[in-house]
Chain A
Amino acid sequence: MKYLIEVCNLSKSFYFPKKIDVLKDVSLSIEKGKSAAIMGASGEGKTTLLHLIGSLEKPDCGKVLIKEKEVTSQNCASIRNSLIGFIFQTSNLLEDLTALENVMLPSMIARKNDKLQLKKAYELLDMVGLSNRKHFYAKQLSGGEKQRVAIARAYINNPEIILADEPSGNLDHENATIIHEMLISSCKDFNKTLILVTHNQELASYCDLQYLLKNKQLIISK
């Protein structure tokens, strides 16, 4: 297996109500353990591409292969649960759950709710520096803390891929730097494949690959 993620000729259009082509014949291949940043102007389809890779969206044509297996509507839930960890820009956490419960949620979905997972959740919260906030409800956490919980949550099921959609988009510079460092270093430490959608040039520069999405096409820039 050469590539962990293979995106072959993906096209996607939306109807508002007129047809708008967002992506056209986009292809992308990423090896295991590599990090890739997708940049581009607003509305170019970066998030759509990330959602298509993460099987949150169905492509009009083309396919996504993860570990050489095509993502279909039948296996998408299990792929998302076991192979992918998502980090979104905002509203990342479930407000009715504590930080610890939010971290453990993917393992609960995978029906792995045992002591080992609890121990792992404690370790991950410790890793993101929130061991003292584990029983805080999401609403009691700051924006930066929420994102750190989201990073810990993305790792709980030990996925091979981390998909991050502008993870520091809503944060101040100081918190954004902490998140960037945490994300890049953790991916490197755990040998995770990272696809990052960002406007931040500095953050993109930490990635092995940099892509620019322009005119519905993906152009490699590094």
Chain B
Amino acid sequence: MYELRLALRYLLPKKRAISTSIISIISFIVISLVVWLCLVFLSVTSGLEENWLSKLTQLNAPLRITPTSKYYSSYYYLIDTISQNSDYETKTIAEKLSAPQSNPYQSNIDADIPYFWPQKETLSNGSAKDLVKDMYSSLQDLQKQEPSLYFQDYEMSGAFLRLSLSRDQGEHLPLKTSFLSQMSYLLSFQGSNPHLKELMLQPTVDDINHLLIQPEIPITQDAYYPTFKNEGINRSVLDHIDILEVKSNSKFSMSGQILPEGVEFSVKKSPFSSTCTILNKKNNKDDCLKKVGDTVYINKEPFNFHELTFVFEKPVTMKVIAFQNKPTLHLEVETEIQGRKSTGSLPFLGLTIEKAKPKVFFDIAPKSPPFWAYYVKDIGWKLPEKGVLLPKSYKDSGILIGDPGYLAYNSTTASSSQEQRISFKVAGFYDPGVMPTGNRFIFAPQEIVRTINASSSFLTTDSATNGIMLWTTPIKKALDIKPLISSQLKKRELDSYWKVESYEDYEFSKDLIEQFKSDKLLFTLIALIILVVACSNIISMLLLLINDKKQEIAILLSMGATRKSISLIFGLCGFITGLMSSFAGILAAIFTLKNLDVISSFLSSLLGHQAFNASFFGDHLPNHLSYDALFFIAVITPIIALIAGLVPAIKASRLKPSSILRSQ
């Protein structure tokens, strides 16, 4: 195709066509810059939208199925209230699902069915409906088509939360105890939520150190573990931790195991006791210590190694080479003392964990579970017994994993209302996202939520306190799955009993999502306008080029080139400029997005304050290339460039070869 070959040759900058070359380079730079800007901007805004969407749907799954008022007034729901098999109580969705029979009513035992109750729900073919089991069955059918779909029933309740914080204030001081109370919503723990991993905050070293000294924490029934009293720490906590670094604290002392042989150290020997303080830095003023076999020489005076106790002048950090919990607690450490590498075995007493890796993910369920929320492959997330997950604001207030507390609720009896308490342990923290009431939501085991619901009347028929949450990956897929669920329910004649909602329908997120949609449209339009303006440079570039190549156009026409071919040559010039510029712009955008954090911190240092507000943009600006934006830019830029190129191209094709050649 000679048109393409000529177009490429024409676009190469040349010394003899300096003005055309300059304009071409400017056009290239301007379009590349605009493509870069649009792509970075659209990617960041799209990332922000996704972040917000994820934050909005972290607590409330992207899809939710809740019973309608027709469900609560159905025979299926009400029949439990007069059935002995159901203890004359209504059932939650989970209870209905696990109930052995759809209709627990026994006409010979139970009271007569009131005449005003609705008829037993049946299908058009006359067979009985099980509103919950049938709905679950339709979801399971859908799951076969969409394996990324996860669902779990949920229950919500409310209780008064009270946490007790006991903190060590240092040596010789009593424990400081304080309390934290708040009226809270309880949400049954959603172990199937595939996004929980992003929500959960990993246990920190503070949590681990706190758990280690919690005497209330039950020690597993393991013959190896001594009681807390004997050792002062909970060895069962260490079962699920990889200790990487430890630091000596004020209780630390050792018998010099880690001191290397034959090396001189600066120490301070107490004249009143056998304590020898190893100084932070070596100097010639203080005592000089040297270890040779079982003898220690201090200023050349021999001492028996086992008679001395060594302490550090300042806390020392030690790298853990080997760690053993059973049968005896044993740490093999490596550290530097006065610039000399020292290794040896140490007891755990007087050491604080500085760096550790808690085990959260397990291939099979552990015999003794960790004290924090954990994940078991093929099962999902689990909470330790009586463990609850608190929003991260609690963590910011100083709560640590292992802190005890209780949930108080009122239980109504025939004559009075009594306060009941359920005790729990903090099992972790989660990020509640941007839910307005997010900081009041506590994830608790389903049994706790159900117990509170059963004794208080929190479960009402007009709120979404019981239902099914459904998760999809990616979140936006929920919008495609929603009509599929509705049609499945309709097929099974269940659509009037269940309300299917997606994140676009939630009251709290509706406005924000609408705002994001209109923002996205606006930004895309702005990007389009900027691109059109940038690409209009191509018109001037091509007009100059055509003027420069008039003679050649005439020669081409004289050789039989059609006017269409002439248009194509210059149209291609525009298209190639657009294509190459967008390619350069895309590469620059990818590079920028990869280094967005560096650029953002540079901007912040330049401005003297945070360039992007963390509460809106998050800790890091979203730096994933938006494929929608990439597709939009990569397609639209060459098209606009081609259109811009067509105007001069048509002009070129209308040139009269005869008059050009005559004017030679």
Bound-complex Cα distance A84 to B561 (A): 12
A91 touches B555 (CB 8 A): yes
A77 touches B662 (CB 8 A): no
A82 touches B658 (CB 8 A): no
Interface residues as binary, A85-127 with B (CB distance below 8 Å gives 1, 0 otherwise)? 0101111111111000000011011100100000000000000
Interface residues as binary, B557-600 with A (CB distance below 8 Å gives 1, 0 otherwise)? 11111110100000000000000000000000000000000000
Of B5, B557, B563, which one neighbours A56 at CB under 8 angstroms? Answer: B557
Of A47, A77, A95, A113, which one neighbours B560 at CB under 8 angstroms? Answer: A77
B658 touches A56 (CB 8 A): yes
Query: Contacts A51-B658, A56-B658, A95-B552 known; A86 to B9 CB distance under 8 Å?
Result: no
- Interface residues contributed by chain A, number (CB under 8 Å): 34
Max chain B C-beta neighbours (<10 A), residue from A90, A91, A110, A153: A91
B664 touches A56 (CB 8 A): no
A109 touches B661 (CB 8 A): no
B2 touches A94 (CB 8 A): no
Is A167 in contact with chain B by the CB < 8 A criterion?
Answer: no
Is B10 in contact with chain A by the CB < 8 A criterion?
Answer: yes
Bound-complex Cα distance A91 to B552 (A): 8
B560 touches A51 (CB 8 A): no
A109 touches B559 (CB 8 A): yes
Query: Contacts A56-B657, A57-B658, A97-B9 known; A109 to B556 CB distance under 8 Å?
Result: yes
Residues of A within 8 A of B562 (CB): 77
Query: Contacts A88-B664, A90-B664 known; A105 to B558 CB distance under 8 Å?
Result: no
Interface residues as binary, A154-165 with B (CB distance below 8 Å gives 1, 0 otherwise)? 000100000001
Of A47, A96, A139, which one neighbours B9 at CB under 8 angstroms? Answer: A96
Q: What is the CB-to-nearest-CB distance from B545 to chain A, in angstroms, rounded to a whole number?
A: 11
Is A215 in contact with chain B by the CB < 8 A criterion?
Answer: no
Is A81 in contact with chain B by the CB < 8 A criterion?
Answer: yes
Residues of B within 8 A of A81 (CB): 559-561
Residues of B within 8 A of A109 (CB): 2, 556, 559-561, 565
B560 touches A106 (CB 8 A): yes
Is A48 in contact with chain B by the CB < 8 A criterion?
Answer: yes
Query: Contacts A82-B560, A91-B551 known; A47 to B662 CB distance under 8 Å?
Result: yes
Is B6 in contact with chain A by the CB < 8 A criterion?
Answer: yes
Bound-complex Cα distance A77 to B564 (A): 11
A54 touches B558 (CB 8 A): yes
**In chain A, what residue has the closest Cβ to B659?**
A57
**In chain A, what residue has the closest Cβ to B565?**
A109
Bound-complex Cα distance A91 to B553 (A): 11
Residues of B within 8 A of A93 (CB): 555
B661 touches A56 (CB 8 A): yes
**In chain A, what residue has the closest Cβ to B559?**
A106
Residues of A within 8 A of B9 (CB): 96-97
Q: What is the CB-to-nearest-CB distance from B658 to chain A, in angstroms, rounded to a whole number?
A: 4
**In chain A, what residue has the closest Cβ to B564?**
A77
**In chain B, what residue has the closest Cβ to A169?**
B664
B560 touches A110 (CB 8 A): yes
Is A80 in contact with chain B by the CB < 8 A criterion?
Answer: yes
A48 touches B555 (CB 8 A): no
Is A78 in contact with chain B by the CB < 8 A criterion?
Answer: yes
A77 touches B561 (CB 8 A): yes
Bound-complex Cα distance A165 to B657 (A): 14
B552 touches A105 (CB 8 A): no
Q: What is the CB-to-nearest-CB distance from B659 to chain A, in angstroms, rounded to a whole number?
A: 8
**In chain B, what residue has the closest Cβ to A78?**
B560
Query: Contacts A51-B661, A57-B658, A91-B551 known; A113 to B2 CB distance under 8 Å?
Result: yes
Q: What is the CB-to-nearest-CB distance from B581 to chain A, in angstroms, rounded to a whole number?
A: 21
Interface residues as binary, B637-658 with A (CB distance below 8 Å gives 1, 0 otherwise)? 0000000000000000000111
A48 touches B559 (CB 8 A): no
Query: Contacts A56-B657, A95-B552, A96-B6 known; A48 to B560 CB distance under 8 Å?
Result: no
Residues of A within 8 A of B14 (CB): 96
Bound-complex Cα distance A27 to B16 (A): 44
Residues of B within 8 A of A82 (CB): 560
Of A79, A89, A92, A113, which one neighbours B555 at CB under 8 angstroms? Answer: A92
Bound-complex Cα distance A113 to B4 (A): 14
Residues of B within 8 A of A113 (CB): 2
Max chain B C-beta neighbours (<10 A), residue from A47, A92, A94: A94
Q: What is the CB-to-nearest-CB distance from B639 to chain A, in angstroms, rounded to a whole number?
A: 27
Max chain B C-beta neighbours (<10 A), residue from A47, A80, A82, A90: A80
Bound-complex Cα distance A113 to B16 (A): 29
Residues of A within 8 A of B656 (CB): 57
Residues of A within 8 A of B565 (CB): 109
A88 touches B661 (CB 8 A): yes
Bound-complex Cα distance A79 to B561 (A): 10
List A26-85 residues whose CB lies under 8 Å from chain B. Answer: 47-48, 51, 54, 56-57, 77-82, 84
Residues of A within 8 A of B552 (CB): 94-95
**In chain A, what residue has the closest Cβ to B662?**
A47
Residues of A within 8 A of B558 (CB): 54, 56, 80, 86, 88
Bound-complex Cα distance A162 to B558 (A): 12
List B1-41 residues whose CB lies under 8 Å from chain A. Answer: 2, 5-6, 9-10, 12, 14, 16
Residues of B within 8 A of A139 (CB): 16
Q: What is the CB-to-nearest-CB distance from B413 to chain A, in angstroms, rounded to a whole number?
A: 97
Q: What is the CB-to-nearest-CB distance from B438 to chain A, in angstroms, rounded to a whole number?
A: 65
Query: Contacts A56-B657, A96-B9, A113-B2 known; A105 to B559 CB distance under 8 Å?
Result: yes
Q: What is the CB-to-nearest-CB distance from A70 to chain B, in angstroms, rounded to a whole number?
A: 17
Residues of A within 8 A of B551 (CB): 91
B2 touches A108 (CB 8 A): yes
Residues of B within 8 A of A79 (CB): 560
Q: What is the CB-to-nearest-CB distance from B241 to chain A, in angstroms, rounded to a whole number?
A: 71
Interface residues as binary, A122-134 with B (CB distance below 8 Å gives 1, 0 otherwise)? 0000000000000
Residues of B within 8 A of A89 (CB): 664
Q: What is the CB-to-nearest-CB distance from A127 to chain B, in angstroms, rounded to a whole number?
A: 19
8 interchain residue pairs of minimum CB distance? A81-B560, A108-B2, A96-B9, A57-B658, A80-B560, A51-B658, A56-B658, A86-B558
A-B contacts, 7 of them at CB < 8 A, read A54-B558, A88-B555, A92-B555, A95-B16, A105-B559, A106-B560, A109-B559
Given contacts A86-B555, A88-B661, A109-B2, 10 further A-B contacts (CB under 8 A): A48-B662, A54-B558, A78-B560, A79-B560, A94-B556, A96-B12, A105-B559, A106-B560, A108-B2, A109-B565
Binding site for B on A (CB under 8 A): 47-48, 51, 54, 56-57, 77-82, 84, 86, 88-97, 105-106, 108-110, 113, 139, 153, 157, 165
Binding site for A on B (CB under 8 A): 2, 5-6, 9-10, 12, 14, 16, 551-552, 555-563, 565, 656-658, 661-662, 664
